[in-house]
Amino acid sequence: MAKILIVEDDTELAKSIADWLTLENHTVEHAETGEDGLQLVNGYQYDLLILDWQLPGISGVDVCKQYRRQGGEMPVLFLTGKSGADAIETGLDAGADDYLVKPFQVRELSARIRSLMRRPKGLLPTKLKVDYLSVELETRTAIVNNDRVVLSPKEFALLEFLFRHPNRCYGAKALLEAIWPSETESSEDTVRTIMKNLRRKITPAGSECVIKTVQGSGYIIEQAVTSES
């Protein structure tokens, strides 16, 4: 699962992309202008930016340039009607990681997203494990010892996030910003409630939960996470 921001002024196209990516278990947000896109990437955490080339106001190229100048490192994929070598060179030189020429099939977009997320900075293994708990990312399954555990989408998203960032402590506010849409009506109390249910589900009787609570700071998985590509 990834948290993806689409900056695209064609609302119908953006909706079709968002609907498809949501079916693939991604969290998707949409902005219609370059200004709104910059505001979101500067204020919230995302895993991937899908950026239209031609936007009202600030162009997609300038959005990408500003984001990179500010130190932004997440993958950027351009959507563009420009297929010439000069245009493609301009987009890549602005800091984009890939591009897709309109019109395109959403399956190709999905394939390119998977490719970007497999690159070293965003390497996504298929399985993660700590102690008694295994997480299978492709099937979105948690396994406690040898028993499969049914988790809600947000429970799994919290678990996956902490697995991917071991030995780092995250408070409820940070988790809310990393996993929920920016305009969510959920609160930090929602995060705490879901985390409480998650810890109960993944902890065998008589064992200590792999997700530790650090009083006044948040939640952490302190052990090394093993993975399989």
**Dihedral (Cα; 153, 157, 163, 166), 10-degree rounding:** -150
Q: How many CA atoms lie within 13 Å of 227's alpha carbon, on the beta-carbon side?
A: 13
Which of the residue ranges 57-66, 77-86, 206-215 would you say has the lowest mean pLDDT? 77-86
Place of tokens 């249910």: 197
Q: How far is CA 209 from CA 131, 188, 194, in A?
A: 10, 21, 15
Determine the topology of domain 3-122 in CATH.
Rossmann fold (3.40.50)
Which tokens go with 72? 């932004």
Place of tokens 């902890």: 203
- State the pLDDT at residue 122: 44
- State the pLDDT at residue 166: 82
Which tokens go with 183? 């305009």
The conformational region for residue 192 under phi > 0 = left, psi -120 to 50 = alpha, else beta, is alpha
- The pLDDT tens digits for 80-132 are 887 666 777 777 778 888 888 888 888 899 888 888 877 554 444 567 788 88
Band (pLDDT 50/70/90 cuts) for residue 199 is: very high
Residue 153 preceded by cis peptide, ω within 30: no
The contacts of residue 161 (CB under 8 Å, 6+ apart) are 170, 175, 178, 179
Q: What 3-state DSSP class applies to 156? A: helix
Would you list the domain boundaries of the chain?
3-122, 127-228
Place of tokens 């130190």: 71
CA distance 208 to 131: 10
Q: Does the structure show a pLDDT above 80 at 163?
A: yes
Instruction: Count CB-CB contacts under 10 A for residue 168.
Output: 13
* CATH architecture label of 127-228: Orthogonal Bundle (1.10)
Pick 199 or 160 by higher pLDDT.
199
Cα Rg of the chain (Å, integer): 19
Q: Is 192 exposed, middle or buried (0-12, 13-18, 19+ CB in 10 A)?
A: middle
- Phi and psi angles of residue 46, each rounded to the nearest 5 degrees, phi first: -130, 160
- The pLDDT tens digits for 6-40 are 999 999 999 999 999 998 888 899 999 999 999 89
CB 18 within 8 A of CB 6: yes
